[in-house]
Structure 1
Amino acid sequence: MVGPNGSGKSNIADSLRWVFGEQSMKLLRGKKSEDVIFAGSDQKARLGTAEVSVYFDNHDHRIPLDYDEVAISRRLYRDGNSEYLINGNQVRLLDIQELLNNSGFGTTSYHVIGQGTIDQLVLGGPAAIKDLLEEASGVKPYYVKRDRAKRRLERTGSNLEQVQALVSEIEPRLRSLRRQTKRLEERSHIEKELREGQVIYYGQILRGLEQQLQELGGKVQVFDKQTGDLNREISELLRSIEHGEKDNLGSTKVAKKLRADLEVLHKEKLTLQERQATTRGQLKVASPKESALGQFWPDIKNKFHAAYERFLKLVGSFDVKEAEGVKVMLGEIALLIKRAEGEEASPQEALVREEERLSHDLQKLFGDIQKLENDLRSYTEQEEKAKEQLFVRERLLRTKQETLLRTNEQKNSLAIEQTRFVTRREAYEQEATAELGADFKMLLERSKSGSPPANLQEKIGMLKRQLAMIGGVDDMIVQEYRETEERYQYLTNQSADLQKGVKDLQEIIVELDEVIKKEFNEAFQKITEKFVEYFRILFNGGRASMALLRERPTPRLSSPTGGEESKEGGEDEEDLEFQALSGKAEIVGIEIRATPPGKKLAGIAALSGGERALTSIALLSSLLATFPSPFVVLDEVDAALDEANSIRFGKILGTLAHKTQFITITHNRETMRQSHTLYGVTMGDDSVSKVLSLKLDQAAVYSTKN
């Protein structure tokens, strides 16, 4: 990454710190969080948001996500709201930190080396160098687990002390309550005898009541059967009556229709009789020369008026039967006209034939009337018979209903008596529950059902008086004793569990210490060898070493398992002091001793700025050679190096580049020569940085061709 001063190169390193969750605005060269948002220039307005996204090639799934490419983003708005995203999905900062830690790339202090901060790797002191090695070697998570286990051990020890204090407080009271409850043993014999007598007494009474209830239950079942039979018979009668009423209603409708049809036929009969009388009168006064049309004209006129009136009715409300009647009347009119036209020559004969036809129609009509009257008479007789049967069923229904009412009254009387017995049984059961307890039924079932001894009730009263004279322990004392005993057992069990927890946590801490010690020593040995190697390369000689600084632990005068445990072990304060002084010292830091060639210096503080930078580069290279990081950003770490040291630094980067991706911000040509891609950063008049990229191998091919 190259470019002139002030073009925005360091913003890229700061953006990587920021996207991985950096919260220190001092490291980001700002004072407020909104300082990372573009503030604008003379030619470009300010922005309302800042966003950085880092894309990881995850084909090897080193990052534990099912994606071949993982994008981690951070977004900040001017109102102070911020977002963290993984592949476009909003997450928490803790999620990103855990994801990076699980992938072997944590928020360590050497992944992004800021401008002018390379020498801080060695100037931070022994404790900082130790933390750096722990982060690089992956031992830090074990320290986190150990610290968590220690905190749990402290909490568990505190809880154990509280539990033991409660146990010590409860024990005297428990002994006193135990002595008081022993007096209950004197009452056991009388209570046993009383209990046996009460079982026999209540058993006899309850069995007698149960037997009487069973007898009443049998009677109730008989009445229930009678009631069920009566209800079924009444239901059948109701259905029969309902069916008969429906049939009677149908017969009534048929008879009504027959009467209406009979009335119509009588009207037609009167009409025909009138026409017959008219025809006979015409026969008496008609002359042979009279026109046939004039003879039939009254009938034609009457029929036409009747047909026209019925036709008007059809226009208002169409009816099939009425239409058929109109059709018949129109046919009769046509027939009369035809006859009049065919009988012009002999009107006397036409009147004779008309009179004969009317006589024939009247004869037929009389037959139809007789048939309808017979049908009406038959339906009337059937209707009368159906009504009689309906009356008989209704009388039978009333009889059944009265019987059902009497049966229900008898059943209700039995139910009332049964309720009295049930009430008495419940009262005795409540009394038995108060005397014998909730499980008295099981006691009654096991008791013998023979005849009870004489004066049993008097004997029970005498035993109760004896118990009253003896006296007893207060019920509240007994309850308090039970509660105290339960609490004592609970606290004792809790104490045992806590002691086991303390032992397990101590074992876990010991195991973690062993793992930390083993892995830290291995990492320290490897990093020391690499540090010495890279120091000699960078300084072209000289001596360097890394030494562990140890301190003895402070005396531990109390044990989290409590004072009793200490007494059992026979340890006093002098023993604990002796163990602390004779124990192994803990590692508190790592000291770096560096002596450039031709000098006798040993301390880091005595080195020059360039020598401190070279020493820091040697330490960083040893860390990366032993525990490679996915990428490292170096912001002008070679600024203090001369040309020779820049060449050595570039060669070291070249040897480590196959394990770690280096992003270097530099003005040094030797460092540029070792890279395979150059990114040029420029800034125009609008104060916006622009990036141009160039792959050196492609540029070499292009220059060779040209």
Structure 2
Amino acid sequence: MQLKSLTLSGFKSFGKTTIFEFSSPVTAIVGPNGSGKSNVVEAIRWVLGEQSMKSLRGKKGEDLIFNGSELSARLGRAEVKLVFDNSQRRFPLEFDDVVVARRVMRDGTNEYVLNGSVVRLKDIYGMLAVVGLGSTQHHIISQGEVDRILWASPRERQEMIEESLGLKEYHLKKREAERKLAETAANVRQVDLQRKELAPHLKYLALQSEKMRAHEDFKKELDEKVRRYISCEHATIIALEQMDREEEKPFLEKRKELEHEISVLTHEIHAAEKTYSGVHMNKEINEKLVDLDEKQKNLNRELGRVEGALLTEGNNEVGTVSPAEFLRELGDAILFVDGLMQKDSFESLKSGLKDIKVMLESLRKLCRGEKRAKEGDSGLREKKRVLGEQLREIEKKINDLREQQQEETTKRESILGELREQEHHIREYEHELESVREKLREVEFAKEKRHERRAELANFIRDMRIDGEQKTGNVFRDDAERHTLVRAIERLRIKLEEAGGIDGSVLKEFDETKNRDEFLERELEDLRKAVRSLEGLMKELDGTLKEKFVGGLRKINEQFQSYFKQMFGGGKASLYAVKPEKNEDGEEDNTAGGVEISVDVPRKRLRSLDMLSGGERALTSVALLFAMSAIHPPPFLVLDETDAALDEANSGRYGDLVDELSRKLQLVIITHNRQTMEHAGALFGVTMDSAGFSRILSLKFEEAKEYASTE
């Protein structure tokens, strides 16, 4: 890879576009003082990212723009462009030519352009670090800075050496890793702080969510139990109603049967009562009996008087009484008593008793043997006989009438017995019917309870706000199972009331907050992994840097010793690393470590670099710079009058080193030294015209030699 060209447009004294073509390994730029030679070096330094305006001999970006002259106006911007040959792909870009450009406007605005695309300074640094062109710009030695590396601190010197070894890339990676590590650590703290801030609210939401989920579980369980209760209760009511109908049916049939039986018996009783009412004592018979009784009474009286008369007439006559006569008298008395027994009048009984007394008195006398007086008159006896026959006839009629009356009485009593029996059956039926009706009332009461239970179920469904068609479930085994389920429902309702109404958005907020916390937790874990990864990367980079630095420093040291002997004709020179000292905290102070230089000039005893002369300092710096460039050659090396302090002998040695180094890298040398110019393959002369513009004149020595030989 080589530097192909440099284009300046409006940069300082190069008001017009000027192009430097670098086709030779060594290019010399010459010209009188003030012509703008150093502006070329500063342009290269600036386009590669230099940020120090002091190093560019200015105070602000506007100072880099061509400011005009008496004959030309000032410009509005300045631009410098470097073109590199990237055919070997040393730059990590898939282009054969890499064009790096930088622009500055009057307002101080800067633009970095890479192959036509505006990029960041960071991108420029990262690309250049790969090929050893770092921010220290050790490969560009401006005028008067040839011994800058000697005056630098050990730490700055180490940075220059690391940059020359191409370790700047690792430092950038390390610095990027450190930046990312710091950012990641800050993010870890921030995320951890966010989690800590989120934790109390998440805990509160978790508690509320747990209550909400418990509320939902209770609600779900309640809904399940309520639906189960409704389905089972519905099935139970249907089963009980069916059982009531089955239980009621035989009682209804029995009631109907009993009512029919009672109705039949009632009709029979009514018919019997009508029959009984039709069977009554004949008034004619009663009237006849009364009339016959009266006649019998009169005849008895008459008979008593006749017998009394007969007794009176026979008081003084005593005689024997025949048995037939006694029996006749006794029979008459018995007939009289029978007739008397049929009478129901007290007066009749009283009169009859008197007659009986008379008869008994007559019979007593007969028993004593008193002789009855002869009937003075046969008419009394006849009358007595007639009266007896009349009495017997009347008695017979009375008996017939009484028999007829007795038959009617017996018939009435039979009808009454049947009525009493039927009434007894009716009472039995009514008693049984009352039992049936009691059972039916119990069934009706049970049906009313079912109706109330169904109404309670409907109210329960309405209160519980159960929608949709209710399915029929299993029948409750017993009331205990039903009451157990009801108590469970009541307990769940109490728990729901105790849980209170929780806004459904709490659960949503909890899920969002929990997801946020889980995201932060994952983010925190990722960040911690990133921290560990970055720490591992930094450790790996430190190891790589240390290994490459130690190896590179040893090689540079060997080359530095060789170049030093060549420049001084002997002597010794070496580089050695200085370990940083530890501070009070036991940590290494990175600003104290670095690389020190030790030189031993022939025929002199020097204790420090401060004792070197100007020429010796220049020779030592050039030897070290060339040694650094030889070990890890940069794309080019710019030397601005680094040979100004050299005498003729040392200038020869300087030229020899230039020739040797040009085999490894490309050199751009600004010089006034003729011996140095002889080692250049191309020569650019810079002059200042009357308009204040720097102009160039190029000459290739090979072409000039060919031209001279032809002449």
Given the two structures, how large is their TM-score scaled by the length of structure 1? 0.54
Separation of aligned partners in 2, 1:668 and 1:99: 35
Separation of aligned partners in 2, 1:143 and 1:545: 25
The reply on whether 1:525 has 2:581 as its aligned counterpart is no
Partner of residue 63, structure 1: 91
The reply on whether 1:540 has 2:569 as its aligned counterpart is yes
Separation of aligned partners in 1, 2:492 and 2:464: 22
The reply on whether 1:465 has 2:490 as its aligned counterpart is yes
Amino acid at match of 2:155: A
Contact kept, 8 Å, 1:553 with 1:586, in 2: the verdict is no
Q: Identify which of 649, 654, 661 aligns with 1:644.
A: 649
Report how far residue 122 of structure 1 moved: 1.7
1:97-145: CA deviation from partner (whole Å, max 9, x where unpaired): 3433345534442222110011112211101101111111222232333
Partner of residue 538, structure 2: 509
Partner of residue 391, structure 1: none
Q: Kindly name which structure, 1 or 2, has the bigger radius of gyration based on alpha carbons.
A: 2
Contact kept, 8 Å, 1:201 with 1:452, in 2: the verdict is no
Report how far residue 81 of structure 1 moved: 4.6
Contact kept, 8 Å, 1:49 with 1:76, in 2: the verdict is yes
Q: Which has the higher mean CA deviation after the structures are superposed, 133-142 or 144-153?
A: 144-153
Partner of residue 287, structure 2: none
1:8-27: CA deviation from partner (whole Å, max 9, x where unpaired): 11111111122223232211
The 3-state SS of whatever aligns with 1:551 is: coil
1:292-338: CA deviation from partner (whole Å, max 9, x where unpaired): xxxxxxxxxxxxxxxxxxxxxxxxxxxxxxxxxxxxxxxxxxxxxxx
Separation of aligned partners in 2, 1:21 and 1:590: 26
Are residues 449 and 651 of structure 1, via their aligned partners in 2, closer, same or farther at CA, if it must alter by over 3 Å? farther
User: Which consecutive residues of structure 2, in runs of 5 or more, have no partner in the other structure?
Assistant: 1-28, 236-457
Report how far residue 671 of structure 1 moved: 0.7
Q: Identify which of 110, 113, 128 aligns with 1:100.
A: 128
The 3-state SS of whatever aligns with 2:33 is: coil
Separation of aligned partners in 2, 1:504 and 1:555: 29
Separation of aligned partners in 2, 1:169 and 1:148: 30
Report how far residue 90 of structure 1 moved: 4.4
Amino acid at match of 1:530: Q
Report how far residue 546 of structure 1 moved: 1.0
Separation of aligned partners in 2, 1:67 and 1:605: 47
Report how far residue 189 of structure 1 moved: 11
User: Which consecutive residues of structure 1, in runs of 5 or more, have no partner in the other structure?
Assistant: 208-423, 434-440, 557-579
Partner of residue 126, structure 1: 154
Q: Identify which of 39, 52, 61 aligns with 1:33.
A: 61
Separation of aligned partners in 1, 2:195 and 2:58: 58
Q: Identify which of 137, 140, 146 aligns with 2:174.
A: 146
Contact kept, 8 Å, 1:194 with 1:460, in 2: the verdict is no
Contact kept, 8 Å, 1:613 with 1:640, in 2: the verdict is yes
Contact kept, 8 Å, 2:131 with 2:166, in 1: the verdict is no
Are residues 428 and 132 of structure 1, via their aligned partners in 2, closer, same or farther at CA, if it must alter by over 3 Å? farther
Separation of aligned partners in 1, 2:691 and 2:234: 105
Report how far residue 57 of structure 1 moved: 2.5
Q: Which one has a larger percent helix, Structure 1 or Structure 2? A: 1
Q: Which has the higher mean CA deviation after the structures are superposed, 485-494 or 522-531?
A: 485-494
Amino acid at match of 1:599: K
Partner of residue 31, structure 2: 3
Partner of residue 597, structure 1: 602
Amino acid at match of 1:138: G
The 3-state SS of whatever aligns with 2:57 is: coil
Report how far residue 636 of structure 1 moved: 0.3
Contact kept, 8 Å, 1:552 with 1:586, in 2: the verdict is no
Contact kept, 8 Å, 2:85 with 2:96, in 1: the verdict is yes
Report how far residue 627 of structure 1 moved: 0.5
1:26-70: CA deviation from partner (whole Å, max 9, x where unpaired): 112122322222233334443343332222233333334444333
Separation of aligned partners in 2, 1:671 and 1:472: 101
Residue correspondences, number: 453
Amino acid at match of 2:69: S
Are residues 171 and 553 of structure 1, via their aligned partners in 2, closer, same or farther at CA, if it must alter by over 3 Å? farther
Partner of residue 679, structure 1: 684
Q: Which has the higher mean CA deviation after the structures are superposed, 38-47 or 120-129?
A: 38-47
Partner of residue 135, structure 1: 163
Contact kept, 8 Å, 1:202 with 1:432, in 2: the verdict is no
Contact kept, 8 Å, 1:550 with 1:586, in 2: the verdict is no
The 3-state SS of whatever aligns with 2:633 is: coil
Q: Identify which of 622, 625, 635 aligns with 2:627.
A: 622
The reply on whether 1:13 has 2:41 as its aligned counterpart is yes
Report how far residue 159 of structure 1 moved: 5.7
The 3-state SS of whatever aligns with 1:72 is: strand
Q: Identify which of 33, 40, 51 aligns with 2:79.
A: 51
Separation of aligned partners in 1, 2:60 and 2:590: 44
Separation of aligned partners in 2, 1:109 and 1:187: 73
The reply on whether 1:23 has 2:67 as its aligned counterpart is no
Partner of residue 102, structure 2: 74
The reply on whether 1:116 has 2:144 as its aligned counterpart is yes
Are residues 429 and 552 of structure 1, via their aligned partners in 2, closer, same or farther at CA, if it must alter by over 3 Å? farther
Q: Which has the higher mean CA deviation after the structures are superposed, 641-650 or 583-592?
A: 583-592
1:617-652: CA deviation from partner (whole Å, max 9, x where unpaired): 111101110010111111101101111111111111
Are residues 490 and 645 of structure 1, via their aligned partners in 2, closer, same or farther at CA, if it must alter by over 3 Å? same
Separation of aligned partners in 1, 2:166 and 2:179: 21
Are residues 498 and 599 of structure 1, via their aligned partners in 2, closer, same or farther at CA, if it must alter by over 3 Å? same
Contact kept, 8 Å, 1:50 with 1:77, in 2: the verdict is yes
Partner of residue 312, structure 1: none
Are residues 627 and 639 of structure 1, via their aligned partners in 2, closer, same or farther at CA, if it must alter by over 3 Å? same
Separation of aligned partners in 2, 1:32 and 1:491: 46
Report how far residue 148 of structure 1 moved: 3.5
Pairing 1:474-513 to 2, within 5 Å after superposition: 499-513=528-542
Contact kept, 8 Å, 2:130 with 2:169, in 1: the verdict is no
Partner of residue 16, structure 2: none
Are residues 593 and 203 of structure 1, via their aligned partners in 2, closer, same or farther at CA, if it must alter by over 3 Å? farther
Contact kept, 8 Å, 2:581 with 2:593, in 1: the verdict is no
Partner of residue 667, structure 1: 672
Q: CA RMSD in A?
A: 4.7
Are residues 550 and 477 of structure 1, via their aligned partners in 2, closer, same or farther at CA, if it must alter by over 3 Å? farther
The 3-state SS of whatever aligns with 2:605 is: coil
- Percent identity, aligned pairs only? 40
Report how far residue 660 of structure 1 moved: 1.1
Separation of aligned partners in 1, 2:58 and 2:590: 42
Q: Which has the higher mean CA deviation after the structures are superposed, 460-469 or 162-171?
A: 162-171
The reply on whether 1:691 has 2:700 as its aligned counterpart is no
Partner of residue 611, structure 1: 616
Separation of aligned partners in 2, 1:586 and 1:84: 32
Amino acid at match of 1:39: N
Are residues 515 and 188 of structure 1, via their aligned partners in 2, closer, same or farther at CA, if it must alter by over 3 Å? same
Report how far residue 472 of structure 1 moved: 5.0
Report how far residue 521 of structure 1 moved: 1.1
Report how far residue 597 of structure 1 moved: 1.2
